[in-house]
């Protein structure tokens, strides 16, 4: 049997490890790989969030079509029992927003069936502590909308006559096109008039074509200077809150000139969308569509399709996509 060659003790100790230089090189390589992969991971997450938001818009758009097939008209932007002329669309017997009127057509209709009083109102009671409009609806919350500290504005609505006071307000990430689902032609000389809110419009009233008309768009749950409850600066975007127009889930209600003159070209021009704005950029009276992804706002078209609209969209094309019967030839790119 041959004897093993002699190896010095220091040689036996050194062969199983790494030198400090080797460890530093490995750490540097790992750091470089992480730096290269992180943007890709973030991009994948953003793509997934955008996909979910588009799916939400698709589900809402499907609910709009189902509701129209059933009710023979679109749901109102906002409806009130006292409005003039009286609301007769059949979606609600009291006060209700666009999304409240759609609740029988998504979320499996569970919410409206749970109301024990005031069936036609978001203020209807569903249990000892909550009104219908206090319930957060997952379909109406975009996963990349981080504009509010919570999807519920705690104690956001107070009135002495209610069964519970105050009532929490559930926020949402989408809005309906006021020019489609409202009735601005009712009192055209007063763009702020609350009697302009319910339209009872039908599919045939979309003269420009449903594929060219925006029905839905992203909005923000909360926007405006920080410092107020839930950082909403006393306004936000609430799916079932009809009593204050600062909470209406609508966009394109107000024209860029704030003008009541139908002869003014600005009367039919609307604020361009924003995307991921700073809080200070949000002005509630502009009623803009506001996207949750960089550079774009996601929209639901009248034919049920969805698309991303660049926030640098041409003003004429944006106006044409907002107005359902302006007969403009301008189109979104």
The domain locations on the chain are 47-322
Instruction: Please give the pLDDT value at position 142.
Output: 96
Q: Lowest-pLDDT range, 35-49, 164-178, 226-240?
A: 226-240
Instruction: Please give the pLDDT value at position 221.
Output: 92
Give me Rg for the CA atoms of the chain.
27
* 85 prior amide bond cis, ω within 30: yes
Q: What is the pLDDT of residues 36-64, one digit of tens each?
A: 766 766 677 888 889 999 999 999 999 99
pTM of the predicted model as reported, rounded to 2 decimal places: 0.86
pLDDT for 249 beyond 90: yes
Furthest-apart CA pair in the chain: how many Å?
111
Instruction: Please give the pLDDT value at position 226.
Output: 52
How many Cβ atoms sit within 10 Å of the Cβ of residue 237?
A: 29
Question: Mean of the per-residue pLDDT values for the chain?
Answer: 87
Mean pLDDT calculated for residue range 164-175:
92
Alpha helices in the chain (DSSP H): 9-14, 20-71, 98-102, 110-114, 178-181, 315-322
Burial readout 130-146 (b: 16 or more C-beta within 10 A, e: otherwise): ebbbbbebebbbbbbbe
| Token representation of residue 95 | 């006060």
Alpha helices in 155-301 (DSSP H): 178-181
324 compared with 7, residue with greater pLDDT: 324
């Amino acid at each position: 049997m041959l004897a093993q060659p002699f190896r010095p003790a220091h040689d036996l100790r050194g062969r199983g490890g790494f030198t400090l230089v080797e460890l530093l090189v490995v750490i540097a390589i790992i750091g470089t790989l992480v730096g290269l992969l992180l943007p890709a991971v973030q991009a994948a997450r953003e793509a997934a969030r955008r996909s979910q938001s588009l799916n939400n818009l698709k589900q809402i758009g499907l609910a709009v079509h189902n509701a129209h097939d059933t009710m023979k008209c679109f749901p109102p932007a906002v409806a009130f029992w006292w409005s003039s002329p009286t609301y007769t669309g059949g979606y609600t017997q009291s006060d209700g927003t666009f999304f409240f009127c759609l609740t029988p057509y998504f979320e499996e209709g569970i919410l409206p069936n749970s109301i024990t009083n005031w069936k036609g109102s978001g203020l209807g009671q569903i249990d000892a502590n909550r009104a219908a409009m206090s319930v957060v609806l997952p379909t109406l919350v975009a996963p990349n909308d981080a504009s509010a500290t919570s999807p519920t504005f705690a104690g956001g609505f107070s009135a002495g006559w209610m069964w519970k006071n105050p009532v929490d307000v559930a926020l949402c990430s989408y809005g309906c096109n006021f020019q489609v689902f409202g009735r601005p032609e009712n009192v055209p000389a007063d763009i702020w008039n609350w009697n302009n809110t319910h339209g009872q419009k039908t599919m045939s009233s979309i003269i420009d074509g449903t594929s060219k008309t925006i029905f839905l768009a992203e909005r923000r749950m909360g926007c405006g200077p920080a410092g107020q409850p839930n950082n909403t600066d006393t306004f936000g975007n609430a799916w079932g809150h009809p009593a204050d127009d600062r909470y209406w889930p609508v966009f394109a209600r107000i024209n860029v000139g704030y003008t009541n003159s139908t002869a003014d070209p600005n009367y039919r021009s609307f604020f361009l969308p924003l995307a991921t704005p700073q809080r200070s950029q949000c002005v509630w009276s502009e009623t803009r569509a506001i996207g949750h992804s960089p550079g774009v706002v996601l929209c639901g078209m009248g034919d049920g399709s969805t698309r991303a609209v660049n926030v640098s969209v041409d003003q004429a094309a944006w106006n044409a996509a907002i107005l359902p019967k302006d007969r403009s030839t301008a189109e979104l790119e």
